Amino acid sequence: MSIDYAAFRRELEEFARKACPPEIRAVVAAGQKVTKREYQAWQKICNAKGWGAPSWPKEAGGTGWDIKQRLIFEEVMAESDCPPLYHHGLGHIGPVIIRFGTTEQKARLLPRILDGSDWYCQGYSEPGSGSDLASLQTSARREGDEYVINGQKIWTSHAHEANMIYMLVRTSKEPKKQDGISLLVVPMDTQGITVRPIKSIDGWHHLNEVFFDEVRVRADNLLGEEGKGWTCAKYLLERERLPPANVARLELVRRQVTRLVDEAAAAAGARRDFSTLRHKLLLCEADVKGARVLMANATDDMIHQRPLGVQPSVIKMICGECAQRLTTIALDAVGPQAAQRFLADAGEDVAEATWIQNYMFTRSRTIAGGTAEVQRNVVANELFGA
């Protein structure tokens, strides 16, 4: 039976308009930071509708939507100022559990992601093992029915809010550093885990150090085979760099910045020329449209189990760099007075302060999840060979 995509879009638009609380949409529309409270509330609303996991298969509790429906969902939610669904559970570890988890693990872990009970953070990066992920040193030794974990993770987003972490650990030392790595899921309230905040330049608290001191976790929290975690890690990274929401959200930011420039131009009148900013906005619009086409092609390949090649790296670079240029335009639009607003009293609701924080935050977009330099190496190796 053919799908009426126009009717599907209308159904989504009505749902977004009626189901998403106005106070949550106001946060998104203003470009403010979406917190765990908004994420969890929206996840529960979508899950109650049966739309808690747009990209998961039906047998795992997802919608079973095709590629076009998933892209329409992301577009409509962004156009309607609804928050994205939180990515660490649904977009990262969820697909890994579906692909590599046992029947028991799927039954135990997936429903708690769907209803928002479990909030995951990612334990990949370590001091000295960021882009060179396979050089990680955090260890886990097997003792009976448990693994005992020692080591440190860093740059762990939302670890101070998460109740679960998925993490790569070294379970043996092999000649090839990609071997001997395993993937565990660990409750954050396990004895021996310490979380310390890292202050970032944007003034928000996302990042943390996480320390593991003789942390004991049940052996049935191992995903996939012991020592074969690198396969799971690569599978997860492909999805981390290819979330459909990235492109739709980039379009949302483009519209927000365009509105900001229009308002600033109207307020300034003939006293200031905004033609340069408008030209930069047009270039960004072209990049967003290009990224949308690339995203559709890549997602189609993923659905049909075709190799993704360098597509995730290319899309990640375009989205990260375009986000930085958009927030730079926003900063230029609000003017130098924004710097003083950033230093204003905490809690003051000032639009300019939000934009300078967004500008600062997007500096990380070409670092997090694999630096732009690493992505360019991936593309160059594909084109010219290692």
Active-site residue 240, yes or no?
yes
Q: Which residues contact 46 (CB under 8 A, 6 or more apart)?
A: 52, 85
Please answer whether residues 82 and 42 qualify as being in contact, where contact means their C-beta atoms are separated by less than 8 angstroms. Answer: yes
> What dihedral angle (degrees, nearest 10) is formed by the CA atoms of 112, 117, 118, 119?
140
Strands, E assignment, the chain: 120-123, 139-143, 146-153, 164-170, 181-187, 193-198, 207-218, 222-223
Catalytic residue among 240, 251, 263, 285: 240
- 72's tokens: 């329409």
Please answer whether residues 223 and 235 qualify as being in contact, where contact means their C-beta atoms are separated by less than 8 angstroms. Answer: no
**3-state per-residue secondary structure call for 271-286:** HCCCHHHHHHHHHHHH
- What does each C-alpha distance from 82 to 78, 112, 244, 249 come to in angstroms? 6, 22, 15, 10
**Angle of helix 5-19 versus helix 36-49 axis, rounded to 10:** 130
Instruction: Please report, as a single letter, which amino acid is at residue 50.
Output: G
The residues assigned a catalytic role are 240
